[in-house]
Amino acid sequence: MSVGVKPGSLSIGQVSRRLLVVLTLMFTLLTTEKAPASANTQIFYEPFAQGWTPGTAWSLATGANYTAQIWDEPTQTPRYALRLTPAGTQRSGGLIYNRPIPISSGLDVSFTFSMWGGTGADGMNFFLQKGTETSSVLPAGGTLGYSADRNQTPNLNGLRNGLLGIGLDMFGNHSLAKFDGTGCPTTPVRVETPNALVVRGPGTLMAGYCILGSLKNTKTNWASGAAHSTTARTLRAKAIRIIIDPSTVATPQVKIWICAANTTCSTAGAPDLAVNAPAALMNEPTVRFGFSATTGGITNRHEVWNLRVDSQAVFPPVVITTQTLPNGGIGTAYSASVAANGIAPYTFAVASGTLPPGLSLNPLTGEITGTPTTAGTYNFTVETTDSRVVGEVGRTATQPYTVTISGGPVCTVTYDEAGGSAVANTDYSQGDSITLPAAPTRAGYSFVGWFTAATGGSPLTSPHTPSGCNVELIARWALLYNVTYEERGGTTVTDATFISGGTVTLPPAPTRAGFTFQGWFTAPDGGTQYGSTATPPDGNVTIYAQWLPYTVTYEERGGTAVSDTTFNCPTTCDTITLPPVPTRAGYVFEGWYTAPTGGTRYGATYVPTAKDQVIYAQWTPYEVSFNTQGGTAVAGWIIGSNATITLPPAPTRAGFTFNGWFTTPTGGSPVGSTYGPHTGDLEFFAQWSPVLHNVTYQEYGGTAVPDATFVSGGTVTLPANPTRAGYTFDGWFTAQTGGTMYNPTFSPPDGNLVVHAQWTQNPFTVTYEEYGGTTVSDSTFVSGGTITLPPRPTRAGYTFDGWFTAQSGGTKYGSTSSPPDGNLVVHAQWTQISANTLFTVTYQEYGGTTVPDATFLSGGTVTLPTAPTRAGYTFDGWFTEPSDGTMFGSSFSPPDGNVEVHAQWTQIPFTVTYEEHGGTTVVDDVFVSGGTVTLPADPTRAGYTFSGWFTAQTGGTRFSSTFSPSDGNLVVHAQWTQNPAPAPSSSPFSVTYEEHGGTTVSDSTFVSGGTVTLPTAPTRAGYTFNGWFSAQTGGTKYGSSFSPSDGNVVVHAQWTQNPAPSPAPTPSPAPVVVSALPAPSPTVPLKTVVVKKRPTTPVLPATGYGSEQLLLMALALMIAGFFTTNMRRPKVD
């Protein structure tokens, strides 16, 4: 049996291809940018398919000789289209959509058109006209229905109030200059040839137009060659998209794209034609759109389909405006309508429930008509759909209704208005309730209510159930009486009416400038005042306002009395003159104010506002104040009149002497210790004399500067700079050296002042003459200073003899010198080297044992002597310098010339050993010769008080916290004082040993004041015992025995895990740098000790897979699993 692929499984090639497709789709979804959603609202979409009729939504062309209609071409694609003209000569047709649409937010129009089956006639046109226009398009010859040749008769103006035309020109008539209106652009792009797109705007004349722009290219070849005569509807069909764009930066534009039929042109690229939109178009709030076409003397069909109009404006959803329907009765004809408000035309349907039997709903008009046949209450919902595109939000609306059909005929309520306004009859079914109509009106009367009879009875209430069928209800009226309000100069009050026995509610109080309203009265003066309501007798009544003038009340507040007054405000208020000033003992009158305190002060006269006024006197007691003019503050006080004042003690002012109290800020004479009597406010002034302070200038050898003075709080201006031979002036300072430099002007504190000159000595130069030796840098020194001579220069074949005062002879300088003032020249002197010249090797031991100097011949070798010794130091070797430098070997060959060889040492540290004598452990320390020791923190010992660190275990001398020991190792002893023994415990305390994994140790006991001797160390496999401690980790290590304080004790074993054995690699030892101990003195340099570090265990290289390898392996396994699953072969039966 052959084995094949199981049905339904996939071959390797199929699996590969499918996997590739899946991956490609995933990549496309992840990398493709989605197109942005349109922000437009679709206003209108009409495919012009089978069953389309103009209805009420469209107006057909007036006077056209062809009716625009749906034309069925069973062999064409699409099969149905709106045909504007047939293939005949001198034929015209067109239509306009009746609903105005907004233009301010722009429009987006798309449609597909075809001009075919003839010999290349005029063409067709899409146009916009004012939304308020009601006329339709007229036949217009070569002007395509947009605007007529202005030479034609006025009644053939094509289109009234046209705003824009998009001409699809086949014959070249759309842009002829002879059709131009006035006020047009002077240089439009005009293409007076077939196969062109022409955009036209309104001219000044109604019958004219303006060419805004034209386009002719391969996209406009809708009549190229003999193509127009083809029998195929779509051979020369094109889609066009027209966008009215108000958002263009400079000027709103009309943008047009042309593309393949039955598509929506993309706006991603530049438009095929763009022109500035006519201002007349953008100034209109709404427009109507439509099509027109003419054939002229040649034949052609002009057709349109797939029309869509979008706008950025938002249109409200459709709503059903009819909220209720009337009831009916069996056998009585019924008629009602459901109305809607949306985008017409509408369709209507019963969405749920059922109509009463015998009634039907017209799906186009919303009318419900018929004769009911079955009584009952029927609930149903009507749904309306407007002309929006299927799926667009707001396209449908529903409204529930309830209609009751009675079993008998419909009855009628007729209303007798009894002279009132007309009220419509009400139909009802016998036994049902009705809602009473709104009250009618009747001049001079008040409606009382509906009654079943002309007299008697009570007014009916709603709802009302008539008794029987076909009844009459009668209106009753009450005579109205007038209420006239006499305001008598006040603001107007509306008159009112009342019925016999009725109540009048009085209106709010009127106002009258300059008067206070007293109330409503029965007479102009006197009479009786009404309350808030009144019940007048039958008959017309007049009610009078009564008024009083405004008052001014003076509040003297303790002053002499002032008479109150009144004022009026007929048009403007009377001017008030304030009364003479009142008086009040011990006070000063401040004036008349709007408030008792604060407020605004009145002038001598003022014009009040139209209300009662209260005016307040304000007073201030006599005040004594002291102006210390910079001195310490002195408080004033309030006093009565004619009092005598005792002046306060003198104030103080730093740097000034008090001269006394004066009545003026300057000048005058001082007053005595008392002053008075007085009759008003007083102010005394302190006068002062400044205290002078001396300024002494210390020139320190500079030219003399005169001393000066300053007053307290004043400033000091420094004098011109002094001069001093050989020095530069650094400035005036607060001290002879250091201190702070003064600014040119400063404010010193009070007191005498010394100002110090500071100087910088001018340096002298030291010039080195090497005479053939290596170059030596020159230097400087100051008067009285010291120069240190530079290292010896070298000169081939010569020995340097030293630095001298002359090139030959003279005096040799030492290593340092204090030359006299003046520039200095230092001369190198040399001795030429001969073959047998001996040079000296001088050994500098720096405190070590003496080493004899040596000599060597030119070119010879120096063998270094045995190392010297020095107490407390280790010899580091012989070097080229006292510190640092280069270390000599056991022998070396120096260059010709005397040589100095320097010993270098490292100080040996001394140990400090601390003997705790039973106390807690203290770490030992070290010190170097001449160094200091700082004692550690005090140890502790159970039952003892630490007495200090001493030179002996008992007795001896106590060390201070820091001390300088003599050279040598040192032992420091802790001394203790035993604490008083506590009362002995009646029972021993326990010692518990926690081995923490070690071998078991028996617990023990101790008595108060006793000693615990620790047991033999336990053992633990793989660990080293560290000792017994006071805690499992950390804590204090116990000695072999210790004296615990009273109480049970737990002792813990601590361990260190032994390291695991590992192969011992042998890499080169890495040096470890260990810092030397502190240097014993500045003359002996510290050395760096290099210790060889034991090799550490090497780090083995990492093995295994990286994250990238693991990711690739996982991907490979997934792919393998996919192939395995899809390629399983079937079992062999």
- What number of other Cβ atoms are within 10 A of residue 882's Cβ? 15
Q: Would you state the pLDDT for residue 140?
A: 54
Cα 521 → chain centroid: 68
Report the CATH fold assignment for 44-311: Jelly Rolls (2.60.120)
As given in the structure block, the two tokens for residue 40 are: 């437009």
Do the domains at 44-311 and 692-761 have one common CATH topology?
Answer: no
d(C-alpha 109, C-alpha 270), whole Å: 17
Q: Would you state the pLDDT for residue 124?
A: 87
β-pair partners for 245: 253
Q: Would you state the pLDDT for residue 726?
A: 84
CATH number of 692-761: 2.60.40.4270
Measured CA angle at 774 (ends 769, 777), to 5 deg:
60
- List CB contacts of 110: < 8 A, sequence separation 6 or more: 239, 240, 241, 242, 264, 265, 306, 307, 308
CA proximity to 244, closest of 190, 175, 164: 164
d(C-alpha 568, C-alpha 1132), whole Å: 127
Between helix 1107-1126 and helix 12-31 the angle, nearest 10°, is 130
Q: Would you state the pLDDT for residue 1115?
A: 59
676 phi-psi bin (left φ>0, alpha ψ -120 to 50, beta other): left
139 and 118 in contact (C-beta within 8 Å)?
Answer: no
DSSP 1125: H
| Mean pLDDT in order along the chain per 10 residues (1133 residues) | 36 43 36 37 81 86 84 89 89 86 88 86 86 77 42 54 86 70 69 83 64 89 61 84 83 94 93 92 90 83 92 80 91 92 85 96 95 94 83 85 84 90 86 89 89 91 89 90 90 90 90 83 88 90 88 90 84 86 82 93 89 88 85 79 76 87 89 73 87 92 93 90 92 95 93 93 92 93 88 87 93 89 93 81 93 88 94 91 91 87 91 94 90 93 93 94 90 93 68 93 89 94 94 91 89 91 48 35 36 35 45 56 48 35
Residue at 1117: amino acid letter:
L
User: Strands, E, within 1047-1124: which ranges?
Assistant: 1049-1057, 1071-1074, 1089-1092
CA distance readout (Å), 984 to 945, 1004, 1047: 20, 18, 12
CATH number of 487-620: 2.60.40.4270
Cα 553 → chain centroid: 60
CA distance readout (Å), 177 to 149, 1055, 1107: 10, 115, 79
Report the CATH fold assignment for 990-1039+1048-1055: Immunoglobulin-like (2.60.40)
680 and 588 in contact (C-beta within 8 Å)?
Answer: yes
Q: What are the phi and psi torsion angles at 498 (to 5°)?
A: -155, 160
Q: Would you state the pLDDT for residue 141?
A: 43
Pairing outcome for strands 565-567 and 645-646: unpaired
Query: Domain 910-978 - what CATH class?
Result: mainly beta
CA distance readout (Å), 88 to 118, 425, 597: 8, 60, 103
579 and 594 in contact (C-beta within 8 Å)?
Answer: no
d(C-alpha 843, C-alpha 882), whole Å: 11
602 and 593 in contact (C-beta within 8 Å)?
Answer: yes
As given in the structure block, the two tokens for residue 279 are: 């201002």
120 phi-psi bin (left φ>0, alpha ψ -120 to 50, beta other): left
Q: Give the H or E element holding residue 1107.
A: helix 1107-1126
Pairing outcome for strands 359-361 and 745-746: unpaired
β-pair partners for 979: none
713 phi-psi bin (left φ>0, alpha ψ -120 to 50, beta other): left
- HEC string of 313-376 equals CCCCCCEECCCCCCCEECCCCEEEECCEECCCCCEEEEEEECCCCCEEECCCCCEEEECCCCCE
* Architecture of domain 628-690 in this structure: Sandwich (2.60)
Tokens 């006599």 appear where? Answer: 622
Q: Would you state the pLDDT for residue 742?
A: 96
Q: Would you state the pLDDT for residue 98?
A: 84
Q: Would you state the pLDDT for residue 299?
A: 81
* Architecture of domain 410-479 in this structure: Sandwich (2.60)
Query: Domain 764-832 - what CATH class?
Result: mainly beta
β-pair partners for 627: 685
Does the pTM of the predicted model rise above 0.85?
no
CATH number of 838-904: 2.60.40.4270
Indicate the domain borders of the chain: 44-311, 319-406, 410-479, 487-620, 628-690, 692-761, 764-832, 838-904, 910-978, 990-1039+1048-1055
d(C-alpha 335, C-alpha 905), whole Å: 132
CA distance readout (Å), 1121 to 15, 22, 256, 1110, 1112: 12, 16, 56, 16, 14
Q: Is 82 helix (H, G, I), strand (E, B) or coil?
A: strand
CA distance readout (Å), 17 to 21, 23, 264, 316: 6, 10, 34, 51
Residue at 297: amino acid letter:
G
- List CB contacts of 959: < 8 A, sequence separation 6 or more: 933, 935, 948, 949, 950, 951, 972
239 and 264 in contact (C-beta within 8 Å)?
Answer: yes
- List CB contacts of 921: < 8 A, sequence separation 6 or more: 939, 1036, 1037, 1039
CATH number of 319-406: 2.60.40.10
